[in-house]
A and B are shown apart, each in its own frame.
Chain A
Amino acid sequence: MPHILVIEDDEITAREIVLELAAHGISADRVHDGAQGFQRAQEPHYDAITLDLMLPGMDGLTLVKQLRERGITIPVLMISALGDVDERVRGLRAGGDDYLTKPFAPDEMAARIEVLLRRHRQEQPAQTKLRVADLELDIISRTARRGPRELTLLPTEYRLLEFLMRYPGQVLTRAMIFESVWGLRFDPGTNLIDVHIARLRRKVDNEGEPSLIRTMRGSGYRLG
């Protein structure tokens, strides 16, 4: 069971994070201030950190910078009231792995934590092939097949499928898909991503079978 350190001074936000993570089967410890957070973050049994940027004691940016300076690579999800693009860039440059703006939907936060955890786990062995059920993606030749059937994918469709296959069984929100596949962070309207998913589905799914890419109520999509 993954173990998360929640560094957050706001009572309500902290409770929400812990509750939501628990609902996803993730346990969490919570600390109130930066200095204490910095101490605890160096303990080896945590798998990821959610980090408020405005903290008493030591601010979030300094905290993550000092962690990285000490060679600690634990994934960090930064949470900030400042939605500014510059702020986000600064956060990621300091060593954060992802950035979320307050107020956030808890499921979005949990989905991002899960992706961070998985990405961190995957980092060690460099995979050349991704497999989910009978779906197979060759990263080197950039080809995909479903069982015996070769899939002809456009570049965008390939990138979308690759992203979904990297995090199988995991809820990916539309915002996460848009950010990762297109590298953009604005609101493209909900049905744009849906249209892209629908096209991918038509190519990936076998006729008469339920879709391999499942729509999750109110949040996003899940492969497998």
Chain B
Amino acid sequence: MANPGKNLGIHWRATTSRLLLAYGVFFVIWGTVLLGSIYWEARHYLENRTDTQLKQQIGYLRSLNEDHMLIALNDYVVLEQTNYNAWGLFDAHGKWIYGDVLQIPEGVTPDSVTLRLPTEKVVSGPFAPQTPTLSVIATRLDNGQILVLAHTTRIAARVGNIILHALWWGLSFTLVPGLIGGLILNRAPRRRIRQIESATQPIMHGDLHRRLPVGERGDELDRLAAIVNDMLDQIERLMGEVKGVCDSIAHDLRTPLTRLRSQLYRVQQQMKEDDPHAVLIEQCVSDIDEVLARFRALLRISELEDRRRREGFVAADLGQTLQHVHELYAPLAEDQHLQFVLNVDPDLIVQADPDLLFEALGNLVSNAIKFTPSGGRVTLSATRLDAAFAQIDVVDSGPGIPEAQRQVIWQRFYRGDAGRDVPGHGLGLSIVAAIAKLHDFELSLGEGQNGTSIGMRCRLQNPRLIA
């Protein structure tokens, strides 16, 4: 959660957030449309009223004689302070005589409809009003002069402002608490998702006894968690059955096979060296040994799956372990005319069971040696990747593992096509996988066509900080 962008992303992806946002947008549109139509209606009504008033006023002014009219015009301006008024008197040719309106605004014709014109086209100067438009009307007096009256649409504008404010405040009062409330509401499910997330970690790492937390509310998340838990029950039961069947077959067959072996062994001991059956008996004994080794390996995998073994972890030096593996297998490689190379970076310390690590690497190396034709090359190396990780690689120049088989090689009993004529029981890599899993080391299969490359990424102990 250190990354704010990621955090935001999580916020945004949450169902509640999306719902809230969609609802917010809808609400804004709806509120704007509602208040917009109210505004439009009100404005229309007020403008109509202004126009009617103007018409009435200009009609009244027309009916006065000239002196009275000028007084009335001044009164008209002074009395209606709140709504700006201006007037202009022009002669028959449109030449200015009196008033703030200095010329007949363009488009205005006497005794016609009221026009709405931009303010600066009607009046200018320090007394000009702040409103953007004015309603303007003109009439021809009996003496031929033209009278122009201008009136602000300020009321309409003010009503418009009030409605706009209403819209603004209304949206603020509903949207802001709504969004905040939504985020708060959203936090609870997110916290629970996080709980579920952390509960699934050990399950994914193989601890099938764990379950997801189920609350008492019985909401969607609880129902989902309960479904997953039921599934996990079933999976655990099935896994247990499979493992149990496997183990008990191995376990139960071991005793009679051992007995069979010891009887054959006794027969062998009592035979004379030159007895023609001796070879046959020896073959039988070694076949039984093979089967017993297979069962041992199977039971060993089960044993390795017990995570309590982690309690025995100590600080192990990869260099030393690899050195020992190299020493042990070097004669085998030499016998097969293989070049066996060891490359180790210094000071690679990991938390591990050294014997198990040895076993895993021994398996990998022995496989590499087994499958590489003579004259080839096997490399065992440990490389520091960064401050926290190192990688062990076992690389050979053998036939490699075909793309299609790469997924299945870690499974129990799997043997590649190339290995059909090479002795072994196909459990070696499963043991490696079980050991790697126990250590949380990550196994990887190298890409490429030439040879096999198996890597094991190990977390280093007390990674040194790079100063």
Which residues in A have some Cβ–Cβ distance to B below 8 Å?
12, 16, 20, 23, 83-86, 102-107, 155-156, 182, 184-192, 195-196, 198-199, 217-219
Contacts and interface: CB of A to CB of B under 8 A. Distances in A.
B265 interface: yes
The prevalent SS among residues of B at the interface is: helix
Contact of B366 (A86, A107, A188, A218): A188
A195 B293 contact: no
Contacts of A195: 331-332, 335
A156 B362 CA distance: 16
B303 A218 contact: no
A217 B329 CA distance: 24
Given A83-B303, A107-B265, A192-B332, A218 B293 contact: no
Nearest to B299: A83
B285 interface: yes
A36 to B, nearest CB: 25
Given A83-B299, A106-B262, A218 B268 contact: yes
Contact of B259 (A20, A103, A155): A103
Contact of A189 (B282, B331, B424): B424
Contacts of B126: none
A184 B293 CA distance: 16
A105 B329 contact: no
Interface residues of B, number: 38
Contacts of B303: 83-85
A184 B355 contact: yes
B450 interface: no
B380 to A, nearest CB: 15
B331 A184 contact: no
A36 B268 CA distance: 36
A180 to B, nearest CB: 14
A196 B269 CA distance: 26
A192 B366 contact: yes
24 contacts: A20-B262, A23-B266, A83-B303, A85-B309, A85-B355, A102-B255, A103-B254, A105-B258, A106-B265, A156-B327, A182-B324, A182-B328, A186-B355, A186-B358, A186-B362, A187-B296, A188-B362, A189-B366, A192-B366, A195-B332, A198-B335, A217-B278, A218-B285, A219-B265
Interface in B166-212: none
Given A85-B355, A156-B328, A186-B358, 9 more contacts: A23-B269, A86-B309, A103-B255, A107-B262, A188-B362, A189-B424, A191-B332, A192-B332, A196-B331
Interface in B318-335: 324, 327-329, 331-332, 335
B312 interface: yes
A190 B299 CA distance: 19
A199 to B, nearest CB: 5
B328 A86 contact: no
Contacts of B328: 156, 182, 188, 192
A24 B46 CA distance: 124
B259 A199 contact: no
Contacts of A105: 258, 261-262, 265
The 3 A-B pairs of least Cβ separation, nearest first, read A103-B258, A186-B359, A218-B285
A48 B262 CA distance: 22
B449 interface: no
B48 interface: no
Contacts of B424: 189
B282 A217 contact: yes
